[in-house]
Amino acid sequence: MSYDKELAAAKKAATLAAHLCQKVQKALLQSDVHSKSDKSPVTVANYGSQALVSLTLERELPSQQFSLVAEEDSGDLREESGQDTLRRITDLVNDTIANEGPHSFSILTIDDVLKAIDSGKSEGGSIGRHWVLDPIDGTKGFVRGDQYAIALALLDEGKVVLGVLACPNLPLATIGHNEQHSSSNEVGCLFFAKVGDGTYLQALDGSTQTKVNVSAVDNPEEASFFESYEAAHSSHDLSSTIAEKLGVKAPPVRIDSQAKYGALSRGDGAIYLNFPHKISVRTLYFSLTLLFYFDFSMLE
């Protein structure tokens, strides 16, 4: 099965969501940032992104049974305290659709948007097809004005068959120690792949498309490594120690969200290090084993 129609729909959905997110981040208002019941930060962009992805996939693939596993639900928005936020989300979704030119969407009502958000309540499973979405991966980075991503994948009978990663703030030029090789200041990347066909990078505006490959660097001294921006997510001290043992000379590239995976897929860096603060003895043993392997292999 080629999954061409599904990939085209996923690219369109992620692109629309990215455009909405760009609009919100550009003019981020304090009133746009809220707290869900679990106290994690969430913005109108999370809800708007999920609604757009859901609406687009259902509209582009009308003959397929639709199942979406996603992060948000409309519970807080249905409360009286969420009505202003809900109206803003609805306006943003309609504005984003209207700005895309000719389309088959009619003006969406508040109920349409609530239904689209709640379409992400599927429990998934190993039978049938299920879309999986993170409407904004890296919310803290989004709120801060840095990197974030819209991550969308399709599972068919329990296997991942395609994926799309929209990174609205990621430069088209390489980042990290290779960034001097390009003078491009353009931002906005769309990475996409389907089973058996490799990974491609497309400008978010659709103007360019290239096949990408991971770094071919095999000398640690020439490699750069990525790690999470948030020190709370990973031990920067341990990463630094491991990088030093490996002989890595370049400073770390700290980047939010799954945007780091897109950058790594095109060879911007060669290594990604992520160590939880409460690291298990087994994980530490495995890490030290890797260090010994690299140390001895460099002596051969």
| Crossing angle between the packed helical segments 83-98 and 44-60, to the nearest 10 degrees | 50
Q: What is the pLDDT of residue 283?
A: 53
Res. 278 pLDDT band, cuts 50 70 90: low
Q: What is the pLDDT of residue 29?
A: 62
Summarize the annotated binding site for Mg(2+) as residue ranges. Answer: 71, 134, 136-137
Mean pLDDT over 87-101 rounds to 91
Q: What is the pLDDT of residue 104?
A: 62
Task: Quote the pTM value.
Answer: 0.85
Task: Look at strands 271-272 and 225-228 and give their pairing.
Answer: parallel
Summarize the annotated binding site as residue ranges. Answer: 71, 134, 136-137
pLDDT of 55 > 90? The answer is yes
Please, are residues 56 and 62 in contact by the beta-carbon 8 Å criterion? Answer: no
pLDDT tens figures, 38-51:
766 788 999 999 99
Q: Which of 64-78, 144-158, 235-249, 279-293 has the lowest mean pLDDT?
A: 279-293
* 236 to 99, 228, 245, 280: CA distances (angstroms): 42, 8, 14, 16
3-state percent helix, strand, coil for the chain, nearest multiple of 5: 40, 20, 35
Domains of the chain: 4-211 (3.30.540.10), 220-299 (3.40.190.80)
Please, are residues 65 and 18 in contact by the beta-carbon 8 Å criterion? Answer: no
> Over the chain, what is the mean pLDDT?
84
Q: What is the pLDDT of residue 274?
A: 72
Mean pLDDT over 113-136 rounds to 96
pLDDT of 300 > 50? The answer is no
Q: What is the pLDDT of residue 244?
A: 79
